[in-house]
């Protein structure tokens, strides 16, 4: 396995602290942190993964991840080179590389008077990450807009999959068995002013109801059927509860914020506490929405 990275055209870093790449500002060192330059680089990494049975994880914008304090063995890939950040418009559709930040796609569509993405305004993350977990609100999710997705599988085949062949559920998709390369989303023409207005409204609602000043990964739990995890945790009286540097946000109880040098361990303990209290009070089992890498 000596010096396998010599063949890479992209960037590689060794023992890279994941806390610098997650919105939680938490996470120990990734053994290999790679930003592939293109598909050829990505194929090289996939070959290594199979040959040496190395774990390989794809990091989007790091906005929905809780990474272990002890770090991770193997390869963490970030699709942040220009190759994975291309955007093109075709009629009323937008085709975006998986590494494009969601807010950029939303803004480019707005500038062209293309509507559909407004409901995601204020969501952090990349378009690939959003797709992988079928990000959305209670009314809509990104799956509603998908036309087709281009992926690479772990046998190095690149293929384009039509929407009908993809399974989407609440915050999940069958795309997790691939690495997403790009996606084509169907939008609709609309008055630019109206699009702007809706985006502004969404951003404002978030600013009013969510803690956007301290590091976090957004909502830590999925909403249970017909309910709100935030409301339940709030009704358990847990706002402001803390374990070392990790605190249940005073603004939104489904947010855990990193007030000061919180560790993954602290966040997990606080999540356990919230789960236990909600189970006891409401008989409801909460499932994590954030991805736990350990």
Rg (CA), the chain: 19
Give the H or E element holding residue 16. Answer: strand 11-17
* Pairing of β 216-219 and β 255-258: antiparallel
- Residues 127-146 touching ligand EPU, rule: CB under 6 A, are 137-138
User: By CB under 6 A, is residue 103 in contact with ligand EPU?
Assistant: no
Residue closer to ligand EPU, measured from CB, 28 or 218 = 218
Taking CB under 6 A as the criterion, the residue among 48, 185, 230, 270 binding ligand EPU is 230
Which residue, 171, 105, 91, 95, is CA-closest to 132? 171
User: By CB under 6 A, is residue 126 in contact with ligand EPU?
Assistant: no
What are the tokens at 146?
A: 């998908």
Residue nearest to ligand EPU (CB): 218
Site string for ligand EPU, 275-294 (x = CB under 6 A): --------------x-----
Taking CB under 6 A as the criterion, the residue among 179, 219, 262, 274 binding ligand EPU is 219
* Residues counted in the chain: 294
Listing from the earlier edge strand, what are the strands of the sheet with 11-17? 11-17, 29-35, 72-78, 56-59
CA distance 100 to 81: 10
Q: Which stretch binds ligand EPU (CB under 6 A): 28-36, 84-92, 105-113, 227-235?
A: 227-235
Taking CB under 6 A as the criterion, the residue among 209, 260, 261, 287 binding ligand EPU is 209
CA distances from 96 to 71, 83, 119 (A): 31, 11, 18
Residue closer to ligand EPU, measured from CB, 234 or 269 = 234
Residue closer to ligand EPU, measured from CB, 171 or 192 = 171
Which residue, 80, 64, 53, 1, is CA-closest to 27? 64
Closest separation in Å from C-beta 203 to ligand EPU: 11
CA distance 136 to 138: 7
| Phi and psi torsions of 13, nearest 5° | -130, 145
CA distance 110 to 191: 9
Taking CB under 6 A as the criterion, the residue among 27, 218, 267, 277 binding ligand EPU is 218
- The DSSP letter of residue 140 is -
Closest separation in Å from C-beta 289 to ligand EPU: 5
- Based on the number of CB atoms within 10 Å of its own CB, is 52 exposed (0-12), middle (13-18) or buried (19 or more)? exposed
Residue closer to ligand EPU, measured from CB, 86 or 285 = 285
Q: How far is CA 227 from the centre of its chain?
A: 22
Closest separation in Å from C-beta 2 to ligand EPU: 41
- Residues 231-260 touching ligand EPU, rule: CB under 6 A, are 231, 234, 252-254
Query: Residues touching ligand EPU: how many (CB under 6 A)?
Result: 16
Closest separation in Å from C-beta 3 to ligand EPU: 40
Give the H or E element holding residue 107. Answer: helix 102-111
Closest separation in Å from C-beta 102 to ligand EPU: 12
Residues that bind ligand EPU (CB under 6 A): 137-138, 209, 218-219, 222-223, 228-231, 234, 252-254, 289
């Amino acid at each position: 396995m000596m010096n396998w990275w010599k063949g890479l055209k992209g960037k590689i870093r060794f023992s890279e602290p994941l806390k610098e790449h997650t919105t939680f500002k938490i996470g120990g060192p990734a053994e290999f942190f790679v930003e592939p330059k293109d598909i050829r680089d990505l194929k090289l990494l996939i070959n290594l993964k199979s040959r040496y049975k190395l774990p390989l994880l794809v990091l989007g914008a790091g906005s929905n991840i809780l990474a272990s304090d002890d770090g991770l063995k193997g390869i963490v890939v970030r699709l942040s080179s220009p190759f994975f950040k291309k955007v093109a418009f075709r009629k009323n559709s937008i085709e975006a590389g998986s590494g494009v930040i969601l807010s950029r796609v939303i803004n480019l569509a707005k500038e062209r008077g293309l509507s559909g993405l407004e409901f995601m305004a204020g969501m952090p993350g990349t378009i690939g990450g959003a797709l992988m977990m079928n990000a959305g609100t209670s009314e809509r999710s990104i799956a509603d807009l998908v036309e087709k997705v281009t992926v690479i599988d772990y046998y190095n085949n690149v293929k384009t999959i039509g929407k009908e062949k993809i399974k989407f559920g609440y915050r999940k998709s069958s795309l997790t068995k691939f690495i997403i390369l790009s996606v084509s989303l169907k939008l609709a023409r609309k008055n630019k002013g109206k699009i702007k207005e809706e985006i502004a409204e969404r951003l404002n609602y978030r600013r009013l109801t969510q803690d956007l000043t301290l590091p976090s990964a957004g909502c830590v739990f999925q909403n249970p059927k017909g309910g709100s995890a935030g409301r339940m945790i709030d009704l358990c009286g847990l706002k402001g509860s803390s374990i070392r540097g990790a605190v249940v946000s005073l603004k939104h109880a489904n947010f855990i914020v990193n007030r000061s040098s919180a560790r993954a361990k602290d966040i997990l303990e606080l999540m356990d506490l919230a789960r236990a209290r909600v189970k006891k009070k409401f008989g409801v089992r909460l499932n994590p929405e954030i991805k736990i890498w350990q």
